[in-house]
């Protein structure tokens, strides 16, 4: 499933990195501890988190993640947005919390 | 090939810039992408440890046909008990660093899991040297 399809089905806001909306998603990881994500997320995963600073993009870039979802209305910082646009890794937003949105994404991916 | 990079304490904005530079270089050399990923994950963790725990440091990167060797030499508080620091979950990260999502105590274990060889030498009150080695083929 592409990032774009997930955005449309779950009504996500697209903050940045729109050129990466065609990225393919093969799974996901949820977490706010950066080195946990670094150690356990895989390439082409969608990452659900509430962290908004630039190191989030460093991890997404190094791990070649498909997209990032910020939960509970959190917004990315300006530097995070800039790197997302450079790397074409979309940052998405939702008002829901990590539990709810992880479950919804999981169900979508496993339909 | 030899490169050097400098890292400053508290500079979280630029943390990761050495890792992305090395990633670009390895890509240009057509290194296998899984080896690139392992190497830059390890390097990122070691780089962030200087930013989070030390005062400043220099990263020396050497690449030849066979392998990449990275030495991260910092001036800082040093690590009193290296075996303990290597344990999953052990962290002395400050509250402000934890707020950013660092401090899970998983950085050094990540380095170990993503390298063919790693070593740490440290002197309390002086600094720490982390060496990372990955075969490139
Ligand atoms: N360069 C360093 N200088 C001084 N102490 C260090 C250094 N690197 C690691 N340490 C010590 O080792 C501990 C464990 O490091 P590790 O990278 O595993 O976890 P962390 O940095 O605390 O958290 P995380 O990496 O999960 O964000 C640190 O909390 C710190 O006490
Ligand atoms: Mg660390």
Which residue ranges form the domains of chain B, and what is each CATH number? Answer: 2-135 (3.30.565.10)
Q: Tell me how far apart the alpha carbons of residues A41 and A18 are, in angstroms, rounded to a whole number.
A: 22
**Least CB-CB distance to B110: which of A39, A51, A79?**
A39
| Class at the top of the CATH hierarchy for domain A3-109 | alpha beta
Q: How many CA atoms lie within 13 A of A82 on its CB side?
A: 7
**How confident is the model over B112-125, as pLDDT tens digits?**
999 999 999 999 99
Q: Tell me how far apart the alpha carbons of residues B6 and A70 are, in angstroms, rounded to a whole number.
A: 31
**How confident is the model over B5-58, as pLDDT tens digits?**
999 999 998 899 999 999 999 999 999 999 999 999 999 999 999 999 999 999
To the nearest whole angstrom, how far is the Cα of B16 from the nearest Cα of chain A?
A: 6
Task: Judge if the beta carbon of residue B104 lies within 6 A of ligand 1.
Answer: yes
**How confident is the model over A24-34, as pLDDT tens digits?**
999 999 999 99
Q: Which chain A residue has the Cα nearest residue B12? A: A55
Question: What average pLDDT does range A48-52 have in this prediction?
Answer: 97
What's the start-to-end Cα distance of chain A, in Å? Answer: 10
The ipTM assigned to this model is 0.91
For ligand 1, mutation pick of B53, B88, B104, B106 (most atoms within 8 Å of CB): B53
Ligand 2 centroid to A12 CA: how many Å?
A: 32
The H or E element spanning position B63 is strand B56-63
Q: Which chain A residue has the Cα nearest residue B108? A: A35
Which ligand has the nearest atom to the CA of B97? 1
pLDDT given at position A111: 86
To the nearest whole angstrom, how far is the Cα of B65 from the nearest Cα of chain A?
A: 23
Name the band, by pLDDT with cuts 50, 70 and 90, for residue B60: very high
Task: Judge if the beta carbon of residue A35 lies within 6 A of ligand 1.
Answer: yes
The encoded tokens of residue A7 equal 């955005």
**Cβ(B68)–Cβ(B39) under 8 Å?**
yes
Read off the DSSP letter of residue A53: S
Task: Judge if the beta carbon of residue B128 lies within 6 A of ligand 1.
Answer: yes
Q: Does the structure show a pLDDT above 90 at B68? A: yes
Task: Judge if the beta carbon of residue B79 lies within 6 A of ligand 1.
Answer: yes
Q: Does the structure show a pLDDT above 90 at B87? A: yes
Name which residue sits closest to atom 17 of ligand 1, judged by CA: B107
The residues spanned by each domain of chain A are: 3-109
Query: Which residues lie near ion ligand 2 (Cβ < 5 Å)?
Result: B 49, 107
CA B62 from centroid of its chain's CA atoms = 14
* Tokens 């002086």 belong to residue: B126
Ligand 1: nearest atom to the Cα of B109: 18
């Amino acid at each position: 499933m592409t990032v774009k399809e997930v955005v449309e089905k779950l009504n996500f806001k697209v903050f940045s990195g729109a050129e990466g909306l065609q990225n393919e998603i093969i799974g996901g990881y949820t977490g706010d501890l950066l080195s946990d994500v670094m150690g356990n997320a895989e390439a082409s995963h969608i990452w659900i988190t509430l962290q908004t600073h630039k190191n989030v993009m460093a991890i997404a870039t190094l791990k070649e993640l498909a997209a990032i979802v910020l939960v509970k209305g959190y917004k990315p910082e300006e530097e995070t947005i800039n790197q997302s646009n450079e790397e074409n890794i979309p940052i998405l937003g939702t008002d829901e919390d990590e539990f709810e949105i992880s479950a919804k994404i999981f169900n979508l991916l496993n339909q | 090939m030899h490169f050097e990079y400098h890292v400053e304490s508290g500079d979280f904005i630029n943390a990761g810039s050495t890792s992305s530079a090395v990633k670009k270089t390895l890509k240009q050399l057509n290194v296998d992408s899984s080896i690139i990923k392992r190497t830059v994950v390890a390097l990122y963790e070691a780089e962030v440890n200087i930013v989070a725990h030390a005062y400043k440091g220099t990263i020396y990167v050497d690449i030849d046909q066979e392998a990449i060797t990275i030495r991260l030499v910092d001036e800082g508080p040093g690590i009193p008990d290296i075996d303990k620091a290597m344990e999953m979950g052990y962290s002395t990260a400050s509250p402000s660093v934890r707020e950013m999502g660092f401090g899970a105590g998983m950085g050094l274990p990540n380095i170990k899991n993503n390298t063919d060889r790693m070593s740490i030498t440290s002197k309390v009150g002086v600094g720490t040297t982390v060496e990372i080695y990955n075969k490139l083929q």
